[in-house]
Chains A and B, each alone.
Chain A
Amino acid sequence: MTLFGYRLPAMSSLLLWALVWEIVGQLDLTFFVPPLSEVMVTLTSVIGTSPFLKALSETAQAFAAGVFFAVVIGIPVGILMGKSRLIDELLLPWVNMFLSAPLTALVPVLMVLFGFGMKSIIITTTLFAIWIIILNTRAGVLQINRSLVEMAHSYGASPLQAFYKIYFWAALPEILGGVRIGVIRAVKGVIIGQLLISIVGFGALFELYANNFLMAHFWAVLIVLFALAFSVSEFLAYLERRVSYYAASR
């Protein structure tokens, strides 16, 4: 972006908002917003401590497992829905319902069904991520060039070969888009799981800091979480760009 003829560096807006945060913090308007500089100092002091690392690894495990299941279940289901009219008719209403449903309300049900441990947190994470992955994969498969499918068929591809040699790759740009949004939703899922189901990981830290009005600590952990989610999402966006060369020419 250019402003008054000057080319602004990337992330200029981030710097601007950081400055606003610092000023609001320094003015001491509310205990809820400590100055950014104080948050950053807290961040560096917290980040190496063993409670933080323990929380990070608990959250990362639940997050990774949740996303893993969302991807390995979501992509094949989405491909099947795109391929088969019958399966699509059967599942689409449910997928759409769960996509827009307030999943947080389901968490108590999950606790009854799966207990108070890691299992429920992982399932919550998966439930947050999976629906958009299914829908995007389905959309990707639906727009596949018919003649590409006929080509595979006429050269003797088995249904399984067509599945992983044609459908998956032809829908890959949409699949990656879905996974990227799914991952962002999974961050939400894992934190909600850790707040509501069992107080572990980052959820426990948030609970602890918020209850004790340690706002600098609270914001520090939030920034770490945001940075992690942002990195994962940017990595997936990078993969998306890698395949975009053929997205337009399918």
Chain B
Amino acid sequence: MVMPQIKEAVDTAALPETDNAVVARSVSKTYGDVEALKNLTLEFPRGQLTSLLGPSGCGKTTLLKIIAGLLKPTSGEIEVNGKPVTGPGPDRAFVFQDFALMPWATVLRNVAFGLELRGVARSEREAIAEKYIADVGLKGFENSYPHQLSGGMRQRVGLARALSVDADVLLMDEPFSAVDEQTRRKFQEDLLNLVQHENKTFIFVTHSIEEAVYVSDQIAILLPRPSRVSEIIRPTDLRHKNTDTLRRDPEYLDIVDSIWASLRSYVE
């Protein structure tokens, strides 16, 4: 097995000792003859945002769903907080690409749904849900239905639902791909804030190079056929820069360019 080379994007100086919230160990997944993932090993440092980036068909969503416990790996294992994953658990919360809101339920009930399933009393779970609805900027929409909201607002509901169950690990499956460009930029900024202020580990699937470089502490580049981690990039320095000027920072642009250089031959 070829170990993925870890390339420090900027300085290779002492990386602070981090423990890993999630570890994937030689995970393989096959569907019939198709290898979706092959012998994939990857570590997700606690409190950081790791992006899974790659062309379509590289198995990034498959990996995310295996971590979520929604899919079983053919071989290998996932550890969350040192414990092997056997199925979905309260230590992980999922944010879906298509929002996955219950159209028959209000925003309040949708956000509180994770707590409802856990048997939290109604008044208690609604108080928690109201707090997170306000946090994601949807105060006043508690009694609206999903079809009355825009795509961006719906994904805020999905995010509030994931936050309200207070999981250690947030799994986000291309959460911003179904919202418009301006909303997406706002989301990316909000996500950076969230990573900074919530002590959670984020695993973020995206196919946008710019998005990955903008929000990530660590970017795992996945390549298809057979799917594997080809490179891990830590844009450590970018995280200390001002987010307002980040998009025209030369270092940011260099990293985006170099990722594109390594991915372009796989994009058909």
Contacts and interface: CB of A to CB of B under 8 A. Distances in A.
Contacts of B114: 155-156
A239 to B, nearest CB: 13
B68 A155 contact: no
Contacts of A169: 102, 104
Given A246-B145, A249-B147, A148 B88 contact: no
Contacts of B92: 154
Interface string B17-48: 00000000000000000000000000000000
- Specify which of B69, B100, B114, B145 lies most central, judged by the most chain A CB atoms within 10 Å of its CB: B100
Interface residues of B, number: 27
B70 A153 contact: yes
A229 to B, nearest CB: 28
A110 interface: no
B161 to A, nearest CB: 8
B87 to A, nearest CB: 8
Interface in A44-75: none
Nearest to A156: B117
A155 B166 CA distance: 11
A157 B70 CA distance: 12
A163 to B, nearest CB: 13
B96 A249 contact: no
Interface string A124-156: 000000000000000000000101101111111
A151 B147 contact: no
Contacts of A250: 103
A154 B102 contact: no
A17 interface: no
A150 B96 contact: yes
B88 A155 contact: yes
B137 interface: no
10 contacts: A147-B100, A151-B94, A154-B93, A155-B88, A155-B94, A156-B118, A165-B117, A169-B104, A248-B147, A250-B103
